[in-house]
C-alpha cells in the first residue's frame, strides 16, 4: 500500500512538472507584452527594452525557464510580480485566504446540507418532503452560479437591504469589537457562501440520495430488515456506511475547487481571491503571478486526487491488499 | 424492481424522471426546431424607439438594450445554445470514448500515458486558458465548442476506462477473447454495447452541464458574436443592468434552468433504470 | 484600463471648468457647494470613495493608471496645482514663482513648513532630486515629454529652486510643476531596478493632506488625515477610504445601499436613475455630471495593411508612393458615405444616455482652439450614403444584401478593446446601421494589450473603434502629421502636405488669433477628409453624498480639493464619528 502511494506520488510530481512547464511556455509565447503596462506604446524603444531586461524577458525562453525553476524549487521563490513589484508568493498567499474561506465554508455547507437532506429524502422516498426537496435541489443544480448570486443579491442586498452586497469585511472592520468583527464577517459571507454552497449542496444531494436509495434497496439491508433490525440502526449503521464510500471520492475530486477560486462569485460579490488574481494577471500579462497561480491549481487537483486515493485505501479494505 | 427485460419501453415511460425529462426535452427541442418560425420579430432587428421595454403584450419578454425583441432572441438563441451543447457533448463523448477505450483495453504504457494527460488537463487552470483565448483570438462558436469539449472529455474517458477494465474481467469477454477475435471487433461488438447504458446517462448529464458552462463562458466573453445571441450571452448581457432591466437576464435564466432540468431528469431516470436492471 | 488613456500623452494636466451639456433634460451642473459660513466648518468624518481598479503602485514615478493617480494625488504634493481656468496655477508646495531676466529660467520659492510624514522637512533638494529621477528614462516616468525643454534644476538654498529651459515657451510653468515631488532621503540610493520592487511603492512616504494607513489588495485603501499637514486645520476629513470595485453592477448596488459616498464613471442608465431619485427628493446622492476628457471615434485604415507591412520604416521619403490605398477606405467618398450612414446622434444618445456632446472634427471640446463652426458636418442620410457608394461602383448585384464591386465584397472587421461597455454597445449599433446600407461589418473585441501590439502598431486592421484622452497642449502632430508617420498613434496612415503646413504654422504661431485661424482650417480639412469618423465626446457621471460641503468637481476630476471637504456636525453619519478622537 505504501509502495502504491509512493508510485502515485511520483506520477503526480511528474504531472505537476509537465503541467507547469506547459503553462510557462504558453504564457510566454502568447501575444501581449508585459512592458506595455509600464510605458505607453509611444515610448522610445530603449525604454521598452530596458523593461524587458528588468523582467528578464530579453533572455531565451529556456534560460528564463531554468532560472525560474531553480528559484522555485530550491528557494521556493516564485519571483516578483511585474505589475505590482510584490513578492508573488506573498500575493498568492494573500489571495488564497479569502478564497479558502469562501470555498471552504461553501463546500462544508454543501456537504453537510446536501448529505443530510439526501439521506432524509431517501428515507422518505416519494413522500412530499422528498419530492419538494428534490425539485428545489434540481433547480439549484441547473443554475449558473453567477445567476443565482445575482438573484440572491437583488433580493437580500438591494430590495431588503439586510446584507451588504460586496467585499469581505466592512471598511470599518478594524474599529469593531471582537464579537462585532465576527458578525461582520458572517454578514459579508452569508450571500456568497450560500450561493456557492447551494450549488455544491445540490450535487451532493443528488449523489447521497441516489447512493442511499441504492443501499436501502440492496439485499443485505433487506435481509437485515427481515431479521427485524431497528429501522434507525439499519439506516445509520448499515446503509449510511455503505453509501458514504462513493461520496468520499466526490469530496476528493471537489477539493480543487477550494483553490481554483470561484471567479464568478468573486466578481459578482466583489470579493478578493485567486480568481481575480488570475484574471488580473492574465490581463496584465504578469507572467510570474500566472505561473504561480497555475502551479497552485495543479497542486490542488493533485492533492485532491491523492487524498481521494488515500481515503479510499483506508476506507475500502478490498483495495488494501490489491 | 421489475426484471422483465423485454418491457424496456414501458419501464422507461413508467419511470417518473424519464417521463418528465422526455416531455421537457421534447418540448425544448421542438422549440429549437420550429420556435424561430413563430418568433414575432426579427431577432437582430434593432428598434431604437423601443429600448429596454419591460415585458408587455407587444413584447412578451421585453426588449433589450438595442430594442430587439427578447422573445425572438430567446427562440433563435435556443438553436444556438442547444446546438453548442449538443455538438460539444458529441465531441466530448467522441474523444472520451475513444481514449477511454484505448486506455482501458490496451493498458500498459498507452494507459499510463493517456491517464497522465487526463491528470494534467484536470489540473489545468481553465480560467487562464479561457481568458487567453478570449483576449487573443476571435471568439467563435467553434472555439466555444472546442473549449467546452476540451475541458470535459477527461471525466468520460475515466469512466469508459474503468468500465472497460471491469468488462474485460468478465467471463463473457474472456470467452470472446478466446475465440481469437481481433481487437477492433472485440471492442465494437462486445465492449461498446455494454457501455451503452452508462454512456446514455452521461450524455444527458453532459448536455445539461454544457448549457450551464456555456453561460459561464459567455460571462467571461467567450461565445456567440453580435448580433446573434445564445441564452448564455443573453444572461450575461442582463448582468450589466440587474437593478433596472431585470427581464433581460430573467427569461434566459429560466430557459436555461428548464432545459438543464429536463436533461438532468432524463439522465437520472436512465441511470435508475440501468441500476435497477442490474440488481 | 490603461488603453483609455494613451491619448495625446499629456493627459495629466487637464484643464478647464466647463458646464455640462445643454441637452434636453436638465442634467445637474458641476457641483460647487459653498460652506454656509466659514466659522461653522467642523473637522471629522469619513469619505467612502470607489476606485474602478486596483492601483498598480502608489509611487508617483511609476503610476500610470487613473486609480493610482487619484490616490497619489491625496498623498503627495506638487509645486503648484492647475486651476479650473485653463491657464493659471495655485501655489501648493511653492508659495510663489518668477521668471528670471533671460526668460529661460523659472525661480520657485518653497514653503518651509512642509514635512514628509516621517518628519524630515521638504526642501529644494527634493525638487532637484525629483527632476533627476523624472528626466532619467530608465525610471520610465510617463510625464517625461513635459521635461524635455528643461535643461537643469538647481537648488539655491533649502527654499529656493531654479528651473532652466532650452528655449522660452508659453508652457514653461506647466512643464516645471508637472509631477509630484518625491522624498530624496527615502529614494536617494535606489537604482531603477530596486525602485521597481521597493517598499515605497506600497508604503509611500508622502507630504500631502492624507497618509496611507492600510492597503488590502483587491479590497480597500485606507488613508488618514496627515496630522502635520502644513495647511492646518485642513484636511477636515479623518479618513478617506477607497473601495476597489471593478464591477459596474456592484458599484451601483453599493451606491444605492449607502456603502459608498462618491463614485465616478457611472453607467448612463444608473446615473439617470440616480438623477431621477435626486430630483424627487429621495436619496442622499447628488448626481454630478461634467464634460469629460474622452472622445470616441472610428479610425479608418487608409492604406492596405500589406503595403504598409512591406514598407521600410527608416526611409521617410516618398512614403505615399509606396503605399496602396485601402481597398475600401482608401476612397474619401466611401468614408463620407459610411459617416453619413451612421446616426451618430442616436449612437451617442444610446451609448451615453444623453450625456455626451456631438463631435465632428479633430479638436477636443475643452481646448481653446475648439470652434464648432469650423468643422464640416456630415448629416445622417443613409439614402445619400447609398447613392455615393453606388456612384463609386459599390452595388448589390447578387441580392445578398451586401454591396460588391467586381469580386470585392463590402465587408470588413471593426476592432475595439474589450472591457469598455460603451464601445461594445456602439459597435453593435454601428453594425446594424451599416447593414442597412448593405455594408457587412463584423465587430471584434480584443484585449487592450493585444490590440496595440498585434493590430495598432503594425496597422493590421481595417477599421478601429477607439478613444483618446485629451491633453492640455493643443497639437495633432502625433496623430496626423507626416513627421510622425511611423508613430504608433498615426495608425490611419493619414498623409497630407496641406495638413503638415497648416499644423506647423498653427503650433508656431505666437498670436492666438492667428493660431485660431490655422486650427479652424485644420478642423475643416480633417472633417472633410475623414481619416476618423468622430462619434461623440463623453460627459462624465459621478455621484457624491450630499453631506459633504465645499466640493469642487470638474474636468480635473472628482478629487480636486478633498482636503477642503467637510461635513456639518448635524449631518454626520454614525461612521463619521468613529475616528473623531483619533489622531
What's the mean pLDDT when you consider all of chain C? 85
* Nearest alpha-carbon partner for B93 in B196, B199, B165: B199
Q: Determine contact: A101 vs chain C, CB below 8 A.
A: no
Q: Which of C142, C214, C447 sits opposite A39 (nearest CB)?
A: C142
| Candidate from A111-125, B136-150, C312-326 with smallest mean pLDDT | C312-326
Nearest CA in chain B to C453: B136
Q: What is the pLDDT of residue C86?
A: 65
Class in CATH terms, C293-538:
alpha beta
Q: Is residue A37 part of a domain?
A: no
- Residue C227, classified by CB atoms within 10 Å of its CB into exposed (0-12), middle (13-18) or buried (19+), is exposed
Question: Angle of helix B108-123 relative to helix B153-168, nearest 10 degrees?
Answer: 150
* Nearest alpha-carbon partner for A113 in A204, A187, A193: A204
Q: How do residues C259-314 score in pLDDT, each as one tens digit?
A: 899 998 888 888 888 888 888 988 888 888 888 888 999 999 999 998 888 887 66
Under a CB-based contact definition with an 8 Å cutoff, are residues A300 and A258 in contact?
A: yes
Q: Determine contact: C310 vs chain A, CB below 8 A.
A: no
Residue B208 has pLDDT above 80, yes or no: yes
Q: What is the pLDDT of residue C157?
A: 93
Q: Which of A32, A267, A276 sits opposite C450 (nearest CB)?
A: A32
Q: How do residues C430-457 score in pLDDT, each as one tens digit?
A: 999 999 999 999 988 888 888 888 898 8
Please name the residues in contact with C46: beta carbons below 8 A apart, sequence gap of 6 or more.
C237, C238, C239, C240, C241, C261, C575, C576, C578, C579
Please answer yes or no on whether C432 and B243 come within 8 Å at the CB atom.
no
Torsion angle (degrees, nearest 10) of CA C172, C177, C179, C180? 170
Q: Determine contact: A302 vs chain B, CB below 8 A.
A: yes
Domain boundary assignment for chain C:
11-75+208-284+546-577, 80-187, 293-538
- Residues in B lying within 8 Å of A, measured between beta carbons: 1, 116, 119-120, 122-128, 131-132, 135-136, 208, 212, 215-216, 219-220, 232, 235, 239, 242-243, 246, 249, 253, 256-257, 260-261, 264-265, 268, 271, 275, 279
Sheet order of strands, C94-99 included = C94-99, C105-110, C160-165, C150-157
Q: What is the pLDDT of residue C22?
A: 32
Q: Which residue has the cell 480633417?
A: C526
* CA end-to-end span of chain B: 8
Q: What is the pLDDT of residue A50?
A: 77
Q: Could you say which DSSP state residue B45 is in?
A: -
Residue with more model confidence, C535 or B177: C535
Q: Is residue A147 part of a domain?
A: yes
Under a CB-based contact definition with an 8 Å cutoff, are residues C418 and C448 in contact?
A: yes
The CA distance from A250 to C129, in Å, is: 62
Please answer yes or no on whether C218 and A277 come within 8 Å at the CB atom.
yes
| Candidate from A162-171, B154-163, C160-169, C411-420 with smallest mean pLDDT | A162-171
Nearest CA in chain A to C260: A171
Segment (H or E) for C109: strand C105-110
Confidence of residue C39 (pLDDT cuts 50, 70, 90): low
Q: State the sign of the Cα–Cα–Cα–Cα dihedral B169, B173, B177, B183.
A: negative
Question: What is the domain extent for residue A229?
Answer: 97-284
Rg, C-alpha atoms of chain C: 25
Task: Show the DSSP H helices in A84-177 as ranges.
Answer: 88-123, 128-141, 145-152
Q: Within a 10 A sphere around the Cβ of B35, how many other Cβ atoms?
A: 20
- Residue C574, classified by CB atoms within 10 Å of its CB into exposed (0-12), middle (13-18) or buried (19+), is exposed
Residue with more model confidence, A86 or C114: C114
C148-177 burial code (b ≥16 CB/10 A, e <16):
ebbeebebeeebbbbbebeeeeebbbbbbb
Q: Is residue A29 part of a domain?
A: no
Share of chain C above pLDDT 70, in %: 91
Degrees to nearest 5, angle at CA B70 with B65 and B72: 135
Confidence of residue C37 (pLDDT cuts 50, 70, 90): low
Q: What is the pLDDT of residue C413?
A: 93
Nearest CA in chain B to C450: B136
Please answer yes or no on whether A167 and C220 come within 8 Å at the CB atom.
yes
Q: What are phi and psi of C289, to 5 degrees?
A: -125, 145
Residues of chain A in contact with residue B260, where contact means CB-CB under 8 angstroms, are: 141-143
| Candidate from C28-42, C287-301, C464-478, C556-570 with smallest mean pLDDT | C28-42
Confidence of residue C9 (pLDDT cuts 50, 70, 90): very low
Residues of chain A in contact with residue C489, where contact means CB-CB under 8 angstroms, are: 41-42
| Candidate from B238-252, C2-16, C39-53, C158-172 with smallest mean pLDDT | C2-16
Q: Is residue A201 part of a domain?
A: yes
Residues of chain C in contact with residue B46, where contact means CB-CB under 8 angstroms, are: 428-429, 432
The CA distance from B90 to B74, in Å, is: 23
* Nearest alpha-carbon partner for A290 in A68, A53, A13, A104: A68
* Nearest alpha-carbon partner for A206 in A133, A256, A148: A133
Confidence of residue C4 (pLDDT cuts 50, 70, 90): very low
Q: Is residue A22 part of a domain?
A: no
Q: What is the pLDDT of residue B189?
A: 81
Under a CB-based contact definition with an 8 Å cutoff, are residues B102 and B81 in contact?
A: no
> Which residue of C52, C203, C218 to mutate against A (max A Cβ within 10 Å)?
C218
A57: closest CA of chain C, how far (Å): 14
Residues of chain A in contact with residue B116, where contact means CB-CB under 8 angstroms, are: 11, 14-15, 18
* Nearest alpha-carbon partner for C476 in C466, C484, C486: C484
The CA distance from B28 to C578, in Å, is: 57
Q: What is the pLDDT of residue C435?
A: 92
Q: Is residue A44 part of a domain?
A: no
Q: How do residues C207-264 score in pLDDT, each as one tens digit?
A: 999 999 999 888 899 999 999 999 888 899 999 999 998 888 888 888 888 889 999 8
The CA distance from A148 to C40, in Å, is: 49
Q: Which of B46, B135, B241 sits opposite C447 (nearest CB)?
A: B135
Residues of chain A in contact with residue B119, where contact means CB-CB under 8 angstroms, are: 11-12, 15, 301-302, 305
Residue C35 has pLDDT above 60, yes or no: no
Task: Give the CATH superfamily of C80-187.
Answer: Dipeptide-binding Protein; Domain 1 (3.90.76.10)
Q: What is the pLDDT of residue C363?
A: 92
Q: Which residue has the cell 431577432?
A: B43
Q: Is residue A294 part of a domain?
A: no
Residue with more model confidence, B16 or C107: C107
CA distances (Å), origin C472, targets C82, C236, C439, C517, C541 = 11, 31, 38, 19, 21
Q: Within a 10 A sphere around the Cβ of A198, how many other Cβ atoms?
A: 25
Count chain A–chain C contacts defined by CB atoms under 8 A: 130
Residue C71 has pLDDT above 80, yes or no: yes
For chain A, the residue count is: 322
- Residues in C lying within 8 Å of B, measured between beta carbons: 248-249, 252-253, 256, 267, 269-270, 273, 346, 350, 418, 421, 425, 427-429, 431-432, 442-447, 449-450
Please answer yes or no on whether C217 and A91 come within 8 Å at the CB atom.
yes
Confidence of residue B8 (pLDDT cuts 50, 70, 90): low
The CA distance from C508 to C142, in Å, is: 25
Under a CB-based contact definition with an 8 Å cutoff, are residues C212 and C57 in contact?
A: no
SS3 state of residue C549: strand
> Which residue of A80, A85, A264 to mutate against C (max C Cβ within 10 Å)?
A85
The CA distance from A157 to A286, in Å, is: 34
Please name the residues in contact with C45: beta carbons below 8 A apart, sequence gap of 6 or more.
C236, C237, C238, C547, C566, C567, C572, C576
In chain A, the number of structural domains is: 1
Residues of chain C in contact with residue B134, where contact means CB-CB under 8 angstroms, are: 418, 447
Q: Within a 10 A sphere around the Cβ of C383, how many other Cβ atoms?
A: 10
What's the mean pLDDT when you consider all of chain A? 81
Q: Within a 10 A sphere around the Cβ of A21, how many other Cβ atoms?
A: 13
> Which residue of A118, A144, A211, A265 to mutate against B (max B Cβ within 10 Å)?
A144
Q: What are phi and psi of A161, to 5 degrees?
A: 55, 40
The CA distance from B184 to B161, in Å, is: 16
Q: Which chains touch A (3 or more CB pairs under 8 A)?
A: B, C
The CA distance from C292 to C288, in Å, is: 12
Q: Within a 10 A sphere around the Cβ of A76, how many other Cβ atoms?
A: 8
Q: What is the pLDDT of residue B16?
A: 81
Q: What is the pLDDT of residue C80?
A: 94
> Which residue of C350, C421, C436, C455 to mutate against B (max B Cβ within 10 Å)?
C350
Under a CB-based contact definition with an 8 Å cutoff, are residues C503 and C480 in contact?
A: yes
Residues of chain B in contact with residue C249, where contact means CB-CB under 8 angstroms, are: 239-243
Under a CB-based contact definition with an 8 Å cutoff, are residues C582 and C49 in contact?
A: no
Q: Could you say which DSSP state residue C5 is in?
A: -
C447 CB-side CA count, 13 A: 29
The CATH number that domain C11-75+208-284+546-577 falls under is 3.40.190.10
Please answer yes or no on whether A277 and C457 come within 8 Å at the CB atom.
no
Count chain A–chain B contacts defined by CB atoms under 8 A: 122
Query: Looking at residue A268, which CATH number applies to its domain?
Result: 1.10.3720.10
Q: In this structure, what C-alpha cell is assigned to residue C158?
A: 533649502
Amino acid at each position: 500500500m505504501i509502495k502504491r502511494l509512493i508510485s502515485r506520488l511520483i506520477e503526480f510530481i511528474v504531472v505537476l512538472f509537465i503541467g507547469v512547464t506547459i503553462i510557462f511556455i504558453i504564457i510566454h509565447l502568447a501575444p501581449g507584452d508585459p512592458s506595455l503596462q509600464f510605458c505607453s506604446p509611444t515610448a522610445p524603444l530603449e525604454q521598452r527594452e530596458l523593461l524587458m531586461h528588468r523582467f528578464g524577458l530579453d533572455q531565451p525562453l529556456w534560460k528564463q525557464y531554468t532560472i525560474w525553476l531553480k528559484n522555485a524549487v530550491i528557494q521556493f521563490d516564485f519571483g516578483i510580480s511585474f505589475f505590482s513589484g510584490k513578492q508573488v508568493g506573498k500575493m498568492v498567499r494573500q489571495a488564497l485566504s479569502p478564497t479558502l474561506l469562501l470555498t471552504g465554508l461553501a463546500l462544508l455547507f454543501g456537504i453537510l446540507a446536501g448529505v443530510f437532506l439526501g439521506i432524509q429524502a431517501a428515507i422518505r422516498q416519494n413522500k412530499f418532503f422528498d419530492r419538494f426537496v428534490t425539485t428545489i435541489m434540481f433547480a439549484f443544480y441547473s443554475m449558473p452560479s453567477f445567476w443565482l448570486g445575482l438573484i440572491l443579491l437583488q433580493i437580500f442586498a438591494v430590495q431588503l437591504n439586510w446584507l451588504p452586497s460586496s467585499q469581505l469585511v466592512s471598511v470599518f472592520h478594524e474599529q469593531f469589537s471582537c464579537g462585532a468583527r465576527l458578525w461582520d464577517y458572517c454578514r459579508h459571507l452569508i450571500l456568497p457562501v450560500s450561493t456557492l454552497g447551494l450549488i455544491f449542496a445540490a450535487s451532493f444531494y443528488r449523489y447521497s440520495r441516489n447512493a442511499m436509495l441504492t443501499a436501502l434497496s440492496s439485499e443485505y439491508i433487506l435481509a437485515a430488515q427481515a431479521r427485524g433490525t431497528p429501522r434507525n440502526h439499519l439506516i445509520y449503521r448499515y446503509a449510511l456506511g455503505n453509501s458514504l464510500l462513493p461520496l468520499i471520492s466526490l469530496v476528493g475530486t471537489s477539493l480543487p475547487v477550494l483553490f481554483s477560486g470561484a471567479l464568478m462569485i468573486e466578481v459578482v460579490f466583489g470579493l478578493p481571491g485567486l480568481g481575480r488574481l488570475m484574471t488580473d494577471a492574465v490581463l496584465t500579462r504578469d507572467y510570474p503571478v500566472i505561473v504561480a497561480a497555475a502551479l497552485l491549481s495543479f497542486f490542488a487537483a493533485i492533492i485532491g486526487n491523492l487524498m481521494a486515493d488515500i481515503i479510499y485505501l483506508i476506507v475500502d479494505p478490498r483495495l488494501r491488499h490489491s | 424492481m421489475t426484471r422483465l427485460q423485454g418491457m424496456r419501453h414501458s419501464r422507461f415511460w413508467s419511470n417518473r424522471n424519464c417521463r418528465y425529462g422526455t416531455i421537457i426535452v421534447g418540448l425544448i427541442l421542438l422549440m429549437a426546431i420550429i420556435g424561430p418560425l413563430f418568433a414575432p420579430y426579427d431577432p437582430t432587428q434593432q428598434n431604437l424607439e423601443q429600448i429596454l421595454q419591460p415585458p408587455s403584450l407587444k413584447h412578451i419578454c421585453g426588449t433589450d438594450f438595442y430594442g430587439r425583441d427578447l422573445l425572438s432572441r430567446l427562440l433563435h438563441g435556443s438553436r444556438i445554445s442547444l446546438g453548442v451543447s449538443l455538438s460539444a457533448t458529441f465531441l466530448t463523448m467522441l474523444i472520451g470514448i475513444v481514449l477511454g477505450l484505448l486506455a482501458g483495453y490496451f493498458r500498459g504504457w498507452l494507459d499510463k500515458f493517456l491517464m497522465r494527460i487526463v491528470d494534467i488537463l484536470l489540473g489545468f487552470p481553465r480560467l487562464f486558458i479561457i481568458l487567453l483565448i478570449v483576449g487573443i483570438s476571435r471568439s467563435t462558436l467553434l472555439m466555444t465548442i472546442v473549449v467546452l469539449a476540451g475541458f470535459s472529455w477527461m471525466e468520460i474517458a475515466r469512466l469508459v476506462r474503468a468500465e472497460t477494465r471491469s468488462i474485460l474481467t468478465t467471463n463473457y469477454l474472456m470467452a470472446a477473447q478466446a475465440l481469437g477475435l481481433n481487437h477492433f471487433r472485440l471492442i465494437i461488438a462486445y465492449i461498446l454495447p455494454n457501455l451503452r447504458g452508462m454512456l446514455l446517462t452521461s450524455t444527458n448529464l453532459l448536455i445539461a452541464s454544457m448549457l450551464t458552462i456555456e453561460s459561464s463562458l459567455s460571462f467571461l466573453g467567450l461565445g456567440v458574436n453580435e448580433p446573434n445571441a445564445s441564452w448564455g450571452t443573453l444572461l450575461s448581457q442582463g448582468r450589466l443592468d440587474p437593478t433596472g432591466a431585470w427581464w433581460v437576464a430573467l427569461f434566459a435564466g429560466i430557459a436555461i434552468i428548464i432545459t438543464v432540468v429536463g436533461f438532468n431528469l432524463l439522465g437520472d431516470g436512465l441511470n435508475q433504470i440501468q441500476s435497477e436492471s442490474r440488481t | 484600463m490603461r488603453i483609455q488613456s494613451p491619448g495625446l500623452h499629456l493627459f495629466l494636466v487637464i484643464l478647464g471648468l466647463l458646464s455640462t451639456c445643454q441637452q434636453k433634460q436638465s442634467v445637474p451642473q458641476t457641483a460647487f457647494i459653498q460652506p454656509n459660513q466659514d466659522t461653522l466648518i467642523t473637522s471629522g468624518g469619513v469619505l467612502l470613495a470607489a476606485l474602478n481598479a486596483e492601483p498598480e503602485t502608489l509611487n508617483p514615478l511609476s503610476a500610470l493608471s487613473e486609480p493610482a493617480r487619484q490616490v497619489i494625488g491625496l498623498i503627495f504634493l506638487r509645486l503648484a496645482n492647475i486651476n479650473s481656468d485653463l491657464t493659471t496655477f495655485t501655489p501648493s508646495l511653492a508659495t510663489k514663482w518668477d521668471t528670471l531676466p533671460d526668460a529661460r529660467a523659472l525661480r520657485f520659492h518653497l514653503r518651509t513648513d512642509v514635512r514628509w510624514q516621517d518628519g524630515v522637512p521638504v526642501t529644494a533638494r527634493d525638487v532637484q532630486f525629483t527632476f533627476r529621477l523624472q528626466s532619467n528614462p530608465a525610471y520610465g516616468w510617463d510625464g517625461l515629454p513635459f521635461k524635455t525643454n528643461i535643461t537643469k534644476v538647481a537648488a539655491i538654498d533649502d527654499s529656493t529652486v531654479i528651473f532652466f529651459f532650452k528655449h522660452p515657451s508659453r508652457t514653461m510653468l506647466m512643464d516645471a510643476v508637472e509631477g509630484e515631488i518625491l522624498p530624496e532621503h527615502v529614494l536617494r540610493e535606489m537604482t531603477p531596478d530596486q525602485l521597481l520592487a521597493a517598499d515605497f511603492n506600497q508604503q509611500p512616504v508622502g507630504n500631502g493632506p492624507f497618509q496611507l494607513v492600510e492597503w488590502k489588495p483587491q479590497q480597500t485603501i485606507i488613508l488618514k488625515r496627515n496630522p502635520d499637514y502644513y495647511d492646518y486645520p485642513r484636511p477636515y476629513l479623518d479618513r478617506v477610504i477607497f473601495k476597489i470595485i471593478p464591477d459596474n453592477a456592484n458599484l451601483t448596488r453599493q451606491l444605492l445601499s449607502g456603502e459608498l459616498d462618491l463614485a465616478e464613471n457611472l453607467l448612463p442608465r444608473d446615473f439617470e436613475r440616480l438623477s431621477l431619485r435626486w430630483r424627487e427628493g429621495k436619496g442622499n446622492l447628488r448626481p454630478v455630471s461634467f464634460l469629460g476628457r474622452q472622445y470616441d471615434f472610428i479610425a479608418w485604415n487608409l492604406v492596405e495593411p500589406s503595403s504598409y507591412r512591406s514598407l521600410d520604416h527608416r526611409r521617410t521619403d516618398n512614403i505615399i508612393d509606396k503605399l496602396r490605398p485601402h481597398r475600401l477606405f482608401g476612397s474619401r467618398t466611401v468614408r463620407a458615405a459610411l459617416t453619413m450612414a451612421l446616426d451618430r446622434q442616436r449612437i451617442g444618445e444610446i451609448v451615453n444616455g444623453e450625456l455626451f456632446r456631438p463631435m465632428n472634427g479633430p479638436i477636443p471640446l475643452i481646448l481653446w482652439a475648439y470652434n464648432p463652426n469650423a468643422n464640416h458636418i456630415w448629416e445622417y442620410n443613409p439614402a445619400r450614403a447609398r447613392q455615393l457608394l453606388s456612384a463609386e461602383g459599390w452595388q448589390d448585384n447578387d441580392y445578398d444584401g451586401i454591396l460588391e464591386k467586381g469580386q470585392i465584397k463590402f465587408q470588413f472587421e471593426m476592432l475595439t478593446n474589450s472591457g469598455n461597455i460603451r464601445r461594445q454597445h456602439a459597435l453593435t449599433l454601428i453594425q446594424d446601421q451599416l447593414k442597412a446600407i448593405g455594408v457587412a461589418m463584423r465587430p471584434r473585441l480584443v484585449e487592450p494589450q493585444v490590440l496595440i501590439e498585434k493590430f495598432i502598431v503594425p496597422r493590421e486592421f481595417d477599421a478601429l473603434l477607439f478613444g483618446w484622452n485629451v491633453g492640455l497642449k493643443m497639437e495633432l502632430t502625433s496623430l496626423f502629421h507626416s513627421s510622425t508617420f511611423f508613430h504608433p498613434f498615426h495608425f490611419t496612415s493619414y498623409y497630407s502636405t496641406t495638413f503638415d503646413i497648416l499644423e506647423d504654422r498653427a503650433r508656431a504661431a505666437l498670436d492666438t488669433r492667428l493660431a485660431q485661424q490655422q486650427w479652424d482650417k485644420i478642423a475643416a480639412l480633417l472633417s472633410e477628409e475623414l481619416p476618423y469618423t468622430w462619434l461623440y465626446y463623453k460627459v462624465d457621471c459621478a455621484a457624491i453624498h450630499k453631506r459633504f460641503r465645499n466640493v469642487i468637481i470638474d474636468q480635473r476630476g472628482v478629487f480636486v480639493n478633498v482636503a477642503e471637504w467637510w461635513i456639518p456636525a448635524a449631518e454626520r453619519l454614525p461612521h463619521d464619528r468613529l475616528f473623531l478622537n483619533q489622531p
